Amino acid sequence: MNIFDHSHNETYRMIDGEILFRADQPARHIYLVERGRIKILGADGGRVLHHYQQGDLFGIPEVLSGLPWPAMAKVEGPTDVRVFSAATVLRRIAHMPRAHRDLLQTIMSEAS
């Protein structure tokens, strides 16, 4: 079980080396980096694929597609991450205007 399994829209203080998620885990959360950095590593934990820093939001395509995470996310240094549960996000999407839902559907199809 993930430390975020029962939370939504909360900020977590994390330390260097903590893992947000591993490859093949279900994508159940969207993350906003409020302070610090997150690096995305290949499924084997080796190669750095991307960095997210303060103000970056990530995980939307994975959550919307329903696919598991294709990579691993690891904290670099002291980092604050706001966590939004997929269930909360999906409920809010259901009440969005049609044009917004269509845009998110396009994002979802590109992630698959």
Encoded amino acid at 81, one letter: V
The structural domain count of the chain equals 1
pTM of this structure: 0.77
In a domain, 5, yes or no: no
Q: Is residue 67 part of a domain?
A: yes
The answer to the question of residue 61 being in a domain is: yes
The verdict on residue 53 lying in a domain is yes
Calpha distance 5→34 (Å, rounded): 20
- Report whether pLDDT(86) > 50: yes
If you average pLDDT over residues 64-75, what whole number do you get?
Answer: 91
Q: Assess if residue 32 is contained within a domain.
A: yes
Mean pLDDT estimate for the chain: 85
User: Beta partners for 50?
Assistant: 40
User: How many Cα neighbours within 13 Å face the side chain of 65?
Assistant: 17
**Inside any domain, residue 60:** yes
Domain housing 71:
10-111
Q: Could you give the angle at which helices 98-111 and 86-94 cross, rounded to 10 degrees?
A: 140
104 vs 69, which has greater pLDDT?
A: 69
Q: Residue 75 carries which DSSP code? A: E
Residue 45 lies in a domain: yes
pLDDT band of residue 8 (cuts 50, 70, 90) is low
Q: What stretches of the chain show up as alpha helix (H) in DSSP?
A: 60-65, 86-94, 98-111
3: in domain: no
Question: For the domain that residue 67 is a member of, what is the CATH number?
Answer: 2.60.120.10
